Amino acid sequence: MLKKQLTPYLLVSPYLLHLAVFVAFPVVFSIVLTFHKWNIISPMEYVGLTNYVRLFKDATFLKSLINTCIFLAIHIPLQIIVALFLAEVLNQKIKFRGFFRAAFFLPVIVSGVVVTILWQQLFGYDSGMFNRLLVTIGLDKIGWLTDPNVAMTSIALMATWKNVGLYIVLFLVGLQTVPAHYYEAAELEGATHTQKFFKITLPMINPTIFMVVILSTIGGFSLFIEPYIMTGGGPLNSTISAVLYIYKQGFFYYHMGYSATLGFFFAMIILLVVMIQKRFVEKDK
């Protein structure tokens, strides 16, 4: 009887151990760390709310939040529009449909570092392919990664190319769940393709759209590899993201306590944004 009672606990113990060591402990430790000053080498020093006071006075952190919001404002609508358009096309009966689906998804499984280095070469001012094409057609070169007004847009374009394949797959799943008889009935009523798209397709795939928006938002907030490799946060901090700034505070300057404070505050921002999106994007069926 005792063996039967203990067996379920023994079976779930590996998961509970993993949860305690790799989730619960880091979360608790990071919260405790927000009230301390620590450079990894010296013992932790309790500083109370000093890190939080510093956070609200940190102009660079505010700049990183604004940059992240700019990235999201460009990246999310662009990614949804492109992914939904391509999913609609790939949902039709076209030749080599399987090949195109695989081709669009391929960048998703390629290392982000590799993709970033590739696009860094494409964005090169003198030798980059994009500027070569502009010069060929008689236009001026663009500082894709050197112009503060253009750099974040360039990163958003690259991130969209990298991730759009995943959302194409999600939209394809959503499109294939729409009952065909809705479209047949609409055709009998003389509805155009545009009317069917806005009156049938969009309302029916609303849960998929909501999921894509949430995933895109979380992914956008975690922007790190692209600015870290392509620009280092420059020029003039125009591409420094919140995650990159948190990383620099922790592992460049060894302000571990302040870095933990920034991370905790940023996590609360993400939670708030997701809750707002859930309130205004998701609709009852």
- pLDDT tens digit string along 4-13? 778 888 888 9
Residue at 116 is within a domain: yes
Cα–Cα distance measured from residue 162 to residue 79, given in angstroms and rounded to the nearest whole number: 10
Q: What DSSP state is assigned to residue 29?
A: H
Task: Answer yes or no: is pLDDT of 177 > 50.
Answer: yes
When the pLDDT of each residue in the chain is averaged and rounded to a whole number, the result is: 89
Residue at 152 is within a domain: yes
Task: Answer yes or no: is pLDDT of 265 > 70.
Answer: yes
40-86: pLDDT as tens digits: 888 899 999 999 999 999 999 999 999 999 999 999 999 999 999 99
Q: Measured on CA atoms in the order 151, 154, 156, 162, is the torsion positive or negative?
A: negative
Residue at 20 is within a domain: no
Look at residue 285 in the predicted model and tell me its pLDDT: 45
- Structure-token pair, residue 91: 């949902």
Look at residue 131 in the predicted model and tell me its pLDDT: 92
Model confidence, pTM: 0.86
Q: What percent of the chain has pLDDT over 90?
A: 53
Residue at 176 is within a domain: yes
17-36: pLDDT as tens digits: 999 999 899 999 999 999 99
Q: Which of 272, 267, 257, 251 is nearest to 53 (CA)?
A: 257
Cα–Cα distance measured from residue 247 to residue 229, given in angstroms and rounded to the nearest whole number: 13
Span 226-237, mean pLDDT? Answer: 90
93-120: pLDDT as tens digits: 888 888 888 888 888 888 889 999 999 9
Look at residue 239 in the predicted model and tell me its pLDDT: 93
Q: Domain containing 85: what range? A: 59-280
Look at residue 179 in the predicted model and tell me its pLDDT: 85
- Structure-token pair, residue 105: 């998804």
Residue at 98 is within a domain: yes
Look at residue 159 in the predicted model and tell me its pLDDT: 92
Look at residue 210 in the predicted model and tell me its pLDDT: 85
Span 200-227, mean pLDDT? Answer: 88
Residue at 40 is within a domain: no
Question: Do 243 and 219 touch, CB atoms closer than 8 A?
Answer: no
140-175: pLDDT as tens digits: 899 999 999 999 999 999 999 999 999 999 999 888
Residue at 2 is within a domain: no
Provide CB contacts within 8 A for 51, sequence distance 6+: 34, 35, 37, 257, 258, 260, 261
Provide CB contacts within 8 A for 71, sequence distance 6+: 152, 155, 156, 159, 220, 223, 241
Q: What is the CATH number of the domain that holds 245?
A: 1.10.3720.10
Span 171-197, mean pLDDT? Answer: 85
Instruction: Grade residue 241 by pLDDT with cuts at 50, 70 and 90.
Output: very high
Instruction: Grade residue 204 by pLDDT with cuts at 50, 70 and 90.
Output: confident
Task: Answer yes or no: is pLDDT of 282 > 60.
Answer: no
Residue at 165 is within a domain: yes
Instruction: Grade residue 281 by pLDDT with cuts at 50, 70 and 90.
Output: low
Question: Do 66 and 152 touch, CB atoms closer than 8 A?
Answer: no
Number of domains in the chain: 1
